[in-house]
A = this chain, B = another copy of it.
Amino acid sequence: MTHVAVDLLGGDGAPDAVVNGIDSALGTDESLEVSLVGPSGVAERLLAERRLAVGGRLRLVEAPHLIGPGQDAAREVRSRRDATVRVATRLIRDGVVDAVVSAGPFEALVAAASFTLGPAPGATRPALAVLLGSPSRPTILLDAGAATGASADQLVQYAVVGSAYATVCLDVARPRIGLLVAGPVHRGGPRLDAGRPGVGGPAAGGSGAGGLGAGELLAGLGLDFVGAVDAAGVVAGGQADVVVCDGSIGAVVVSWLQAVAESGDQPPQVQPGWYPQEGAFVVGVDGIVVVAGGRSGSTGSGIARAIAQASVADRSGWVPRQRAALADLVARRRTRAGLSA
């Protein structure tokens, strides 16, 4: 069984869409258990309306407070023990559930996960991994905006955990990793930011350990590192399975593609071409944490897909997989520091 805690209050469609999503997910997946985290009164009313019984594979966990959108989400997380994201991540920490899903502000969820679960051993910051592209050929982009100003070492972390995540959710044995550079306005021109720290081409990026750029560090890790990639190469050429960039850039890419995809009359699920798929996966924290963001976060089907994404991660053994992927980085750091590996 996979047991997922779901935030009842997060997202534009909450609480109704959340309960609809849980209903659908429980119906589809008989190996799924859900803990619904929110105000019990609200939960009981919604479940009764749908004739859903508590007990068996559906439980209620009391948490009265929603951390809404706002600049202080991360700070508010620390002061509100009764917030849904705090209670939900505590359920992971205490071994009650295997994963958390919330459609609330990603800042609150990432902050709660960092605070309660801590970083995965070897990771120094979390990142958001988002699937871009058509369902038949998706690409993972990270960081989609969890943080800005990544160092070369942190871009390497993103690559390592992004590669591990690609083996889980893209079913690619040996994912190709690319470092994103801003594409030239004139195709064929030079890369705009090849020398800019934190975005970096293979020889650029913030200066990392030993003064090496992210590309140089990556080239020594045994991953399938394809070097610098730009938008055209990724979209038209499928040059990489995993695209790594600073969160300031990733957030821009995702927000514009999402806005364009959602501007049509077709929902993103059936629209051909490139768009961010729902469910940003939080890497770098020591647990399974999924943000059901975008338009999908306000629909029951979007919540159900985010729950499914969390279940896939759990059944593939994401937590030990991520630890194993980062272990090599840890060993290299120890060696550089003169410690035994």
Chain A residues near B (Cβ < 8 Å): 11-12, 69-71, 73, 103-107, 128, 130, 144-145, 148, 182-196, 199, 230-232, 234-236, 247-249, 251-260, 262-264, 272-274, 276, 280, 291, 293-295, 297
Contact = CB atoms under 8 A, between A and B. Distances in A.
Closest 8 CB pairs of A and B: A183-B255, A186-B293, A231-B259, A235-B259, A105-B189, A182-B251, A231-B255, A231-B256
Nearest to A230: B255
A295 to B, nearest CB: 7
Given A12-B188, A184-B251, A186-B293, 5 more contacts: A71-B191, A107-B189, A128-B185, A186-B297, A253-B256
A195 B72 CA distance: 12
A192 B11 CA distance: 17
A283 to B, nearest CB: 14
Nearest to A188: B69
A255 B12 CA distance: 30
B293 A187 contact: yes
B247 A105 contact: no
A280 B185 contact: yes
Contact of A259 (B73, B104, B189, B234): B234
A12 B187 contact: yes
A297 B153 CA distance: 38
A236 B262 contact: yes
A259 B247 contact: no
A252 B259 CA distance: 15
Nearest to A73: B190
